[in-house]
């Protein structure tokens, strides 16, 4: 299979990341995240728990128990994938309600669809301060 690397991967990956967290952090728009996931193909691992498809993913994201959340992105690294996808690695901090900030890692794989992209893979982990034994 010849590679179909997307030359605008960096631009698309960074713009997508901004849009994602803006939508997430605003309670009025969080439910619209569903449009970014595919009904069957999207796969989310959230702190080790795996779910597939937009409906199950939104159940998880919609069921998180905080009133306020803010994501502050520190680094975004992107790479083009050989099937036209875009791999995005995000590191940052998030703040929920009045809790102290926590560091997080989130990875997305964006897949082209029609003239846009959807989230084919989404992996979220909080960064722990101590290595588990």
Partner 1 sequence: APYTAAGMDVKKIAHKWCTDYYQQHQTNRQVLKQVYKPDSKLTVTNDDFVGPDAIVEKFEQWPKDSVFQVVSFDAHQNMPNGILAFVMGKLVFDNGANEQRFAHVFQFIAESEAAFYIQNEIFQFINFG
| Contact positions vs partner 1 (CB under 8 A) | 3, 43, 45, 48, 74-75, 77, 79, 81-83, 85, 87, 89, 91, 93, 101-103, 105, 107, 109, 120-121, 123, 125, 127-128, 131-132
Nearer to partner 1, 23 or 73 (CB): 73
Phi and psi at residue 98, to the nearest 5°:
-105, 15
- Rounded Cα–Cα distance for residues 10 and 86 (Å): 8
Nearer to partner 1, 28 or 97 (CB): 97
Give me 14's structure tokens.
């960074």
- Nearest approach in angstroms of CB 27 to partner 1 is 24
The residue written with tokens 């309600």 in the block is 97
Other Cβ atoms closer than 10 A to 51:
17
The Cβ-side half-sphere exposure at 132, using a 13 Å CA radius, reads: 2
- Rounded Cα–Cα distance for residues 42 and 59 (Å): 13
Nearer to partner 1, 40 or 77 (CB): 77
């Amino acid at each position: 299979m010849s590679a179909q690397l997307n030359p605008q991967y960096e631009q698309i990956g960074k713009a997508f990341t901004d849009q994602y967290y803006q939508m997430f952090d605003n309670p009025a728009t969080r439910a619209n995240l569903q449009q970014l996931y595919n009904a069957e193909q999207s796969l989310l691992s959230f702190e080790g728990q795996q779910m597939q498809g937009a409906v199950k993913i939104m159940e998880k994201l919609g069921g998180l128990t905080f009133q306020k959340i803010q994501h502050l992105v520190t680094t975004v690294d992107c790479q083009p994938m050989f099937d036209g996808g875009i791999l995005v690695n995000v590191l940052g901090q998030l703040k929920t309600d009045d809790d102290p900030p926590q560091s997080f890692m989130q990875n997305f794989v964006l897949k082209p669809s029609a003239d846009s992209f959807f989230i084919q893979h989404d992996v979220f982990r909080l960064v722990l301060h101590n290595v588990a034994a």
